Amino acid sequence: AQKVTQAQTEISVVEKEDVTLDCVYETRDTTYYLFWYKQPPSGELVFLIRRNSFDEQNEISGRYSWNFQKSTSSFNFTITASQVVDSAVYFCALSEVEGGANNLFFGTGTRLTVIP
C-alpha cells in the first residue's frame, strides 16, 4: 500500500484561480512528519513546509496554506490566486520516526499547470 497518496496526477487552472492539492498518508506511528516540496521545471526540489503529527494548526504563508487533519490522514495544500510561476510538480512526503525508523516516503506528485 502507498504510504503517501496524491490522487491528482495533473491539475490545470487559469491564473488567479485557487487550487487545492490533496495528500493522504498512511502510518501507524503517533509521531511523524509531513512535508510538501515543489519541483519547478528547473528540476531541483524546493522545501515548502514541514509539520509534525502533534501540530494540527493550519498554516498560511502568503498565498500558500496547508490543512492538516489527522482524522482523515490528510495534509492538503492550497494555493490562492495562482500564478504562472506556481506551475510545477508538487510532492507530499511522510517521515516516520518511531522505533528508530529512518523512513521518508514521497507521493507520486501532482503536476500543476497555471494557464495565463
Partner 1 sequence: DAGVIQSPRHEVTEMGQEVTLRCKPISGHNSLFWYRQTMMRGLELLIYFNNNVPIDDSGMPEDRFSAKMPNASFSTLKIQPSEPRDSAVYFCASGLGALYNEQFFGPGTRLTVL
| Binding-site ranges for partner 1 (CB under 8 A) | 33, 37, 42-47, 50, 91, 95, 97, 102-104, 106-109
Minimum distance from CB of 5 to partner 1 (Å)? 12
Cβ proximity to partner 1: between 8 and 108 the closer is 108
Minimum distance from CB of 103 to partner 1 (Å)? 8
Residue 12, strand partner residues: 113
One-letter amino acid of 61: S
Cβ proximity to partner 1: between 41 and 62 the closer is 41
Sign of the torsion angle spanned by Cα atoms 21, 25, 29, 30: positive
Distance, CA of 22 to CA of 36 (rounded, Å): 11
Nearest CA among 102, 107, 89, 111 for reference residue 44? 89
Minimum distance from CB of 22 to partner 1 (Å)? 16
